[in-house]
Amino acid sequence: MLKETPMIQVSIFKEVRSASAPLLWSLVIALGWPGPAAAGGDLLGEQSLNEALGVVVPEPQIVNPSFEVGSFQIWPGYVADNGGVSGWEGSSVGNWGLNPISNGQSPFADNGAIPDGTQVGFLQSSPGGESRLSTLMTGLLPGSSYVVRFRANARSSNSVLVQVAVSGELREISLNGGPPALSQTISPVGGSNPYHRVSLVFTAVVASQALTIINGQGGDNTVLIDDFELLGDRAFADRFIAVPERLGFENLASELLPPGAVRNDGPFVLQVLSGDDWEILPEGNPGQTLSTGFQFPDIGDSLSIRRSDGGRFLFSRLDLRTLTTEPSDGLELQGRLNGQVLFSVGGISSSEPAWQTLEPGFDVAIDEVLLRIDSRGAEMLMLDNLVFGFLSN
DSSP label of 21: H
* Lowest mean per-residue pLDDT among 56-70, 81-95, 371-385: 56-70
How far apart CA 82 and CA 101 sit, in angstroms, is 10
Domain assignment present for residue 5? The answer is: no
- What CATH number has the domain bearing residue 80? 2.60.120.260
In this prediction, residue 392 carries a pLDDT of 59
What does the pLDDT average to over 371-393?
89
In this prediction, residue 361 carries a pLDDT of 60
Helix %, strand %, coil % for the chain, to 5? 10, 40, 50
Query: What rounded mean pLDDT belongs to the chain?
Result: 83
Q: Write out the H or E segment, with its range, that includes residue 202.
A: strand 196-203
pLDDT tens-digit series, residues 208-220: 999 999 999 988 9
Domain that residue 162 falls in: 61-231
217 and 87 part of one domain: yes
Decide which of 191, 212, 231 is a domain's last residue. 231
How far apart CA 130 and CA 93 sit, in angstroms, is 14
Query: Residue 345: is its pLDDT beyond 80?
Result: yes
Most confident of 1-10, 91-100, 176-185: 91-100
pLDDT tens-digit series, residues 101-160: 999 999 999 999 999 999 999 999 988 779 999 999 999 988 778 889 999 999 999 999
214-228 per-residue burial string, b: 16 or more CB within 10 A, e: under 16: bbbbeeebbbbbbbb
Query: Residue 362: is its pLDDT beyond 60?
Result: yes
The tally of domains found in the chain comes to 2
Q: Write out the H or E segment, with its range, that includes residue 204.
A: none
The dihedral over CA atoms of 188, 193, 194, 198, expressed in degrees to the nearest 10, equals -30
pTM, entire model: 0.54
CB 69 within 8 A of CB 98: no
75 and 213 part of one domain: yes
Domain assignment present for residue 27? The answer is: yes
CB 168 within 8 A of CB 91: no
**Local structure of 43: helix, strand or coil:** coil
pLDDT tens-digit series, residues 161-182: 999 999 999 999 989 877 789 9
The sign one gets for the Cα dihedral 64, 337, 391, 200 is positive
188 and 249 part of one domain: no
pLDDT tens-digit series, residues 244-301: 899 999 999 999 999 999 999 999 999 999 999 999 999 888 889 999 988 889 999 9
What does the pLDDT average to over 359-375?
84
114 and 90 part of one domain: yes
How many beta carbons lie within 10 A of that of residue 381, not counting itself?
Answer: 26
